Copies of this chain bind each other. A is one copy, B any other.
């Protein structure tokens, strides 16, 4: 999961560059299609066609559909964490959080709230269907929350946040607001509920600032 090569294959003996590229192409196509249509509503033929591969390649690189889905869970998790790490690992101020919020809102507004969060949608679809996938997703959420809570810890250590602020709980709340916001925005096909939800969570964090700034939520 914390691998540099995002589409890292499982241990196999000899592996060629061409094989890796094919595997990556399959995952990339699965990622794209399943984000839009959902996991269960996407067929292997869809993926085969979109990835310009053949049946034998799908089954050469993945034992079955379930294993492909599990690989996708890791693939997508790695992508999200990579993106989030870039935006959060230097978080040291409240305005940094606001910039992070704005980036997410802007990205989501590009498609009018549709599709939601790739992790969240998989979580709801797979959690009661594939225990291994659920477990991976749960770990990814935990890692994501840790990126946030680490930033909040830095803010608390530097005196920006009050000592009684609980970075872990604040991070969980923010993540829930984000995921719930994605969900409502997706249902409404409108990014507005996501903004409201994130602003609520940020206000909550702001209430723990040592010297509450004005109202610069956006």
Residue-wise, chain A 30-67 has the 8 Å CB interface mask toward B (1 for contact) of 00000011101100000000000000000000000000
- Evaluate whether A188 and B138 lie within 8 angstroms (CB atoms) in the complex, with A120-B183, A193-B172, A197-B172 already known: yes
Contact of A151 with B by CB under 8 A: no
CB contacts (< 8 Å) of A36 on chain B: these are 128
A173 to B36, CA, bound (A): 25
Say whether B204 contacts A180, CB under 8 Å. no
A137 within 8 A of B: yes
Q: What CA separation (Å) do A197 and B178 show in the bound complex?
A: 11
A97 to chain B, nearest CB (A): 15
- Do A41 and B38 contact each other (CB < 8 Å), given the known contacts A180-B176, A201-B200? no
Contact status of A115 and B128, CB under 8 A, knowing A134-B187, A176-B181, A197-B176 = yes
Chain B contacts of A199 at CB under 8 A?
173
Question: Contact flags (1/0) for A188-205 with B, using CB distance below 8 Å?
Answer: 110001101101110110
> A38-B128, A129-B41, A204-B204 are contacts. A197–B173 as well, Cβ < 8 Å?
yes
For residue A124, which residues in chain B have a CB less than 8 angstroms away from its CB? 38, 116, 120-121, 124-125, 183, 186
Q: Chain B: which residue is nearest A38 at the CB level?
A: B125
Question: In the complex, what residues of B have CB within 8 A of residue A132's CB?
Answer: none
Most buried by B among A120, A193, A200: A200
Q: Which of A37, A201, A203 has the most CB atoms of chain B within a 10 A radius of its CB?
A: A201
Cβ contact within 8 Å between A204 and B200: yes
**30 A-B contacts, Cβ less than 8 Å apart?**
A36-B128, A37-B129, A38-B125, A38-B128, A40-B40, A41-B129, A114-B128, A115-B128, A121-B124, A121-B125, A123-B187, A125-B125, A128-B186, A134-B187, A137-B187, A169-B196, A170-B200, A172-B184, A172-B196, A173-B196, A173-B201, A175-B184, A176-B177, A176-B184, A176-B194, A176-B197, A177-B201, A179-B180, A204-B204, A207-B207
